[in-house]
Chains A and B, each alone.
Chain A
């Protein structure tokens, strides 16, 4: 898969300062991120100074209860929102300096989103949904189609290209969303509760896919509140009341022995269900 480099130069204006702050291979470098809202006259802090560095190739789970600030953090990491104060560097680009247009460009080139609610466009077939970010990147229709088909092949949906989201199960829809996220070969895959709407079998299915992507060297940041799901990550960051309260590395569950049997059993169940339906 080729990297989308065309036109990226316009946003990499601080190339020189790259090495001074965070390390050169860091995908995410958050420094003292504060997000403040005005709510009914008084100020509410969503994050109160979060600093976090994610090197390339890590699979990070950001955990926390609702109200812990993890959604705000996810929006900031995803360049959907800008912090009130603090610095954020994504793949070497300082996000603070960017305007609306450049932010959409960054989201398009550097981030692959996977949402809880799948967020596929209902009136488009799977392959068209996967093509969409490449269309915004300005790729030719032929190249888009080829890459979208390759991405759908990667997630095991080669036979569902022309299906509409309404004709697919939740797990399949989420796999289309993953295909859409990886097709531009982004620096970061950002998943927001990717298994929140899925049953156990589909959850294992989708998480195995994330584990595979990680093993291929991709950087993944996943927001979740489920320990089972966080177990697939190599690093778990815990948030409470807008600050980081825990940060540790771990052996992901799929690398542990007991997991293999667990998955095999679940996959067998899954196959039975597919045969029945």
Chain B
């Protein structure tokens, strides 16, 4: 008895009771589809988190002033007096005091309504230095970036985020050189930023970048200190070193220790690794939930195979009487179980691939390529394990008992 003959025989057995076989396959189908979809949801949500962290910049540290973060909670009101000064910026930017720092950009941020010829758009305004753009992964698509000269001369010039551009200017028009209003002040558009794409939590394109000096002059007032410093490390490997350099400088400046620092320093790399590990846990948890449904499917296959063996006891008796050896009977029922779960697996993969195309609870699932062979392999194993015992029972039947069975 060859393999093909066995498979044909198994298919005939399956189709002779197609409704029951279909329902059994449904169990495997749901299990396999659940594995694929839930792993895709896990992967999708972890990618979304990683994207939104990456949109903060590349190899960056963010220093927050004026409380907030872990130090504020530890030291209470003490932190509220501390501010980030231009001296801090100078020291952190100095290659001698902080050799692992690539650049430091002071940031003043505020929210304003941008207006151009009646069109308005509510946007966040970042007052900073030219190094802010590369550190935050902004690239210029037209015109030029703000320059050090602009900062020095308090020039009222801006680079527009793509959302702002598209909201204020009709498509086809050239915004460069045009005057827009931010609050009550006029700024000249000198550059356009390429779109970063929306990254889950925040829209990185709803932004206007201007020299911090001009923002202080026109929008927030001279007294306003920097709300944060964006520090870019030289590489991801030395980012932790850069962090400790920045922390010691700030501690020295504020006559305190690193432990009591009145600022919080957010390390993008450690944030990313924390987020990645927690989303991995989340994905694994989803995977286990899916595995449970696959297990239920396996029990269904086993159950049906036991029923099938009982129903076909007489047939087994006939086959054994006319010379079917144990191994042939065993493989016949084993193949039947494997075929059921493989068919269920194929349909499950297809169902999973369809469901993954839709957003689920605000998450765009991202198909984890390993999940298809995984789900398929598990379906195959399910078939073998669920089929083994019933097939063994069938093969061990004594032909005289089986022939007598009504």
Contacts and interface: CB of A to CB of B under 8 A. Distances in A.
A74 to B, nearest CB: 10
A75 interface: yes
Which of B16, B323, B327 has its CB near the most chain A CB atoms (within 10 A)? B323
Most chain A CB neighbours (cut-off 10 Å) among B321, B327, B399: B321
Given A107-B323, A135-B5, A136-B325, A121 B399 contact: no
A235 interface: no
Contacts of A141: 5
A12 interface: no
Given A121-B315, A123-B16, A136 B322 contact: yes
A136 B324 contact: yes
Contacts of A80: 321, 398-400, 403
A104 B325 contact: yes
Given A101-B325, A136-B323, 17 more contacts: A75-B400, A78-B321, A80-B398, A100-B325, A101-B326, A104-B323, A104-B325, A107-B322, A108-B323, A119-B317, A119-B318, A121-B315, A122-B315, A123-B13, A133-B322, A133-B323, A180-B322
Nearest to A123: B16
A108 B400 contact: no
Nearest 10 pairs between A and B by C-beta? A108-B323, A136-B323, A133-B322, A104-B325, A119-B318, A80-B400, A107-B323, A80-B399, A136-B324, A75-B400
Interface of B: 1, 5, 12-13, 16, 314-315, 317-328, 398-400, 403
Nearest to B399: A80
A105 B321 CA distance: 10
A137 B323 contact: yes
B321 A107 contact: yes
Given A75-B400, A80-B400, A135-B5, A109 B323 contact: yes
Contacts of A138: 1
A119 B12 contact: no
A123 B321 contact: no
A148 B47 CA distance: 64
A52 interface: no
A9 B84 CA distance: 97
Contacts of A136: 1, 319, 322-325, 328
A113 B321 contact: yes
A135 B315 CA distance: 16
A78 B320 CA distance: 12
Contacts of B318: 119-121
A132 interface: yes
A105 B324 CA distance: 8
A167 interface: no
Nearest to A190: B321
B400 A104 contact: no
A104 B16 CA distance: 27
Task: Tell me which of A109, A122, A136 has the highest count of chain B C-beta atoms within 10 A of its own C-beta.
Answer: A136
A8 interface: no
Nearest to B323: A108
B324 A104 contact: yes
